[in-house]
């Protein structure tokens, strides 16, 4: 069941998303949050930091599981999602870093890295709330369009369109890793609530297909139509085809 919340702009989208996340933390202080990277959720993270600084939200008992990580980057590489999460969120709130988890992209043994991650997420009981961005091609995490929906954490080859889209964050396109470890679609669906954030015209087709297109692995986000509790917070441009 989708609930679509229309935001005025990026700042409004970020505040609305942060409100939903902070409500989760207030209602269940030891909740499990599934977190996402990409530029879209940064505003929500910064809003949560602001509320934390004002004493409104306490992350001391929260644990987190991120969706994905580039394969081959160390945790301290500024392009890694480990680094991104500390830089944009974890280092600015009172979360215990031992309770934060991101797939281990520095482990070249994909099988071992992915199964260890699945075990951790399962033992944690899966996220109470999973935050998701969406790729221009409808990907969630790094689950790219495919002929089937993925299950657990696995190694993926990134598509040319994702490499191109994400290259804006790297010095050169050649620097973008070609592979990543990502939570699978089935694992994402185990979250009890899913919050999708999207802004800008580049996401309009993907947001439309996610909400109203056929449920198909060619648009991985479309499977969210089968989840009982999904909130989409998006700005007018991202909703322009809906
Ligand atoms: C990356 C991430 C996704 C994210 C997507 C969109 O590929 N792996 O989790 O949703 O980018 O990113 P952005 O929010 O920067 O548009």
Is the CB of 210 within 6 Å of ligand 1? no
Of the pLDDT bands very low, low, confident and very high (cuts 50, 70, 90), residue 166 is: confident
CATH no. for residue 9? 3.40.50.1360
Domain membership of residue 153 (yes or no) is yes
pLDDT given at position 2:
86
Query: Using a 6 Å cutoff on CB, does residue 182 contact ligand 1?
Result: no
pLDDT in tens, 19-53: 999 999 999 999 999 999 999 999 999 999 999 99
Q: Which ipTM was obtained for this model? A: 0.94
Inside any domain, residue 35: yes
Long-range pairs, 77-81, Cβ under 8 A, ≥24: 79/169, 79/170, 79/175, 79/177, 80/105, 81/37, 81/105
Tell me the mean pLDDT in the region 116-139: 97
Task: Give domain status of residue 242, yes or no.
Answer: no
User: What are the angstrom distances between the C-alpha of 201 and each of 164, 187, 207, 208?
Assistant: 17, 29, 10, 11
223 touches 194 (CB < 8 A):
no
| pLDDT per residue as tens digits for the range 56-108 | 999 999 999 999 999 999 999 999 999 999 999 999 999 999 999 999 999 99
Q: Is 226 within the bounds of a domain?
A: yes
The residue nearest atom 10 of ligand 1, judged by CA position, is 133
Please give the structure tokens belonging to residue 198: 């999207």
> What are the catalytic residues?
68, 137, 139, 144
pLDDT at 236: 97
Residue 160 and residue 241 in contact, taking contact as beta carbons nearer than 8 Å? no
pLDDT per residue over 6-20, tens digit each?
999 999 999 999 999
Atom of ligand 1 nearest to the CA of 169: 15
**DSSP three-state, residue 223:** helix
**How many other CB atoms sit within 10 Å of the CB of residue 179?**
15
pLDDT tens digit sequence for 209-237: 999 999 999 999 999 999 999 999 999 99
Q: How many domains does the chain have?
A: 1
Boundaries of domain holding 107: 2-199+209-235
Burial of residue 97, with CB atoms counted within 10 A of its CB: 0-12 exposed, 13-18 middle, 19 or more buried = exposed
Q: Tell whether the model's pLDDT for residue 1 goes beyond 80.
A: no
10, part of any domain? yes
Alpha-carbon span 136 to 134, nearest angstrom: 7
Return the structure tokens found at 97: 């870093």
- Residue 53, domain member (yes or no): yes
130, part of any domain: yes
b/e map of 190-216 (b: 16 or more CB within 10 Å)? bbbbbbbbbbbeebbbbbbbbbebeee
């Amino acid at each position: 069941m989708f609930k679509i919340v229309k935001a005025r702009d990026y700042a409004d989208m970020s505040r609305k998303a942060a409100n939903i996340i902070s409500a989760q933390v207030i209602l269940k202080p030891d909740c499990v949050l599934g977190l996402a990277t990409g530029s879209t959720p940064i505003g929500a993270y910064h809003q949560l930091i602001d509320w934390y600084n004002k004493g409104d939200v306490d992350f001391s008992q929260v644990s987190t599981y991120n969706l994905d990580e580039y394969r081959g980057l160390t945790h301290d590489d500024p392009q890694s999602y480990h680094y991104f999460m500390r830089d944009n969120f974890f280092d600015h709130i009172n979360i215990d870093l031992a309770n934060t988890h991101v797939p281990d992209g520095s482990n070249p043994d994909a099988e071992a890295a992915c199964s260890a991650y699945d075990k951790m997420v399962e033992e944690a009981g899966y996220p109470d709330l999973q935050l998701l961005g969406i790729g221009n091609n409808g990907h969630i995490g790094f689950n790219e369009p495919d002929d089937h929906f993925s299950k657990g954490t696995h190694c993926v080859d990134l598509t040319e369109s994702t490499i191109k889209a994400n290259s804006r964050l790297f010095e050169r396109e050649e620097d973008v890793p070609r592979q990543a470890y990502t939570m699978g679609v089935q694992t994402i669906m185990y979250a009890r609530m899913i919050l999708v954030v999207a802004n800008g015209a580049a996401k309009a087709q993907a947001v439309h297909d996610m909400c109203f297109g056929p449920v198909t692995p060619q648009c991985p986000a479309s499977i969210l139509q089968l989840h009982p509790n999904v909130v989409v917070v998006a700005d007018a441009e991202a909703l322009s085809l809906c």
